Amino acid sequence: GDSVTQMEGPVTLSEEAFLTINCTYTATGYPSLFWYVQYPGEGLQLLLKATKADDKGSNKGFEATYRKETTSFHLEKGSVQVSDSAVYFCALSDRMDSSYKLIFGSGTRLLVRP
Amino acid sequence: DAGITQSPRYKITETGRQVTLMCHQTWSHSYMFWYRQDLGHGLRLIYYSAAADITDKGEVPDGYVVSRSKTENFPLTLESATRSQTSVYFCASTHGLVSTGELFFGEGSRLTVL
């Protein structure tokens, strides 16, 4: 079945460092891809998405490009802030009967130090 | 308040007891979901519902029961709680196809089974 694999955390960076969180997927069809973020004590929020190959999703300085040839959707940010400390989940949409569901990766915790 | 709310936020119970986690959304979203979040597993889908009176199993449904008599409510019941059901449970909803990725999550219910 479809699946999502993320790099294991935690990822610890200093403020203003460059961030990459790797995400690869397996899917039989043409999924949409997403990054969700979970801040401490909160539920998940959609961070960005891409619905087809070569699309780039972006939000709050974060970017990810849908790479079909490498089945990847790596999350990047040029300069992280302490407030970016959170758990990041990569996800893909998968068709299930007549509707869709989201399949999540295991999450990557990011800790940004001042 | 508008949004999606879960209750209780924290619950401690004993093995064999019945527990119900409540989920309420004020957007009239047709789709609702229950996920559990465990270290190393990310989010796993327990049950989902496409509309009132329509529910279906997700990836890990064993030991859980759901109902959806009203569009806005989607309770999750553990009929006889086990220690392996200690987890954080998230309810989510969306109005349309999940392929858009716009799931809205509650803040979670942390359940401990002793």
- Interface touch B99/A93, C-beta < 8 Å: yes
Of residues B89, B85, B79, the one with CA closest to residue B109: B89
Assign A100 a pLDDT band (cuts: 50, 70, 90): low
The shortest C-alpha distance from A33 to chain B (Å) reads: 8
For chain A, give the mean pLDDT.
91
Kindly list the residues from chain B whose CB atom is less than 8 angstroms away from the CB atom of residue A99.
31, 48, 50, 97-98
pLDDT of residue A93: 85
- Distance in Å from the first CA to the final CA of chain A: 41
Question: CB of A56 within 8 A of CB of A69?
Answer: no
Q: Average pLDDT, stretch A46-58? A: 94
What backbone phi and psi angles, to 5 degrees, belong to A34?
A: -145, 155
State the pLDDT confidence band at B95, using cuts at 50, 70 and 90: confident
Which pLDDT score, from 0 to 100, does residue A25 have? 95
Q: Which tokens in the block code for residue A80? A: 């992280």
Residues from chain B that touch A102, judged by Cβ atoms under 8 A, are 45, 98, 101, 103
Determine the residue of chain B that is closest to A105 in CA distance. Answer: B42
**Contact flag B103-A97 (C-beta cutoff 8 Å):** no
Return the pLDDT at A57. 96
For chain B, the average pLDDT equals 91
d(CA A31, CA A49): 11
Chain A residues lying within 8 Å of B49, measured CB to CB: none
Q: Looking at the predicted structure, is the pLDDT value of residue A41 above 80?
A: yes
Cβ contacts below 8 Å, chain A against chain B, sum to 62
Sign of CA dihedral B9, B15, B79, B38: positive
A57 touches chain B (CB under 8 A): no
- Tell me if B105 and A45 make a contact (CB, 8 A cut-off): yes
User: Quick check: A90 pLDDT over 90?
Assistant: yes
CB A99 within 8 A of CB B96: no
Closest partner residue to B102 (CB to CB) among A41, A46, A107 is A46
When pLDDT is cut at 50, 70 and 90, the band that residue A98 belongs to is: low
Per-residue pLDDT, averaged over A3-8, amounts to 90
Selected residue of A25, A99, A103, A108 to mutate for chain B interface (largest B Cβ count, 10 A): A99
Residues whose CB is less than 8 angstroms from the CB of residue B101 and which lie 6 or more positions away in sequence, other chains included: A32, A34, A46, A49, A91, A93, A102
CB contact under 8 A, A41 and B107: yes
When mean pLDDT is compared across A34-48, B2-16, B17-31, B88-102, the lowest value belongs to: B88-102
Both tokens of B88, joined, read: 């954080």
Helices (H) and strands (E) in chain A, counts: 0, 12
pLDDT of residue A102: 79
A14 touches chain B (CB under 8 A): no
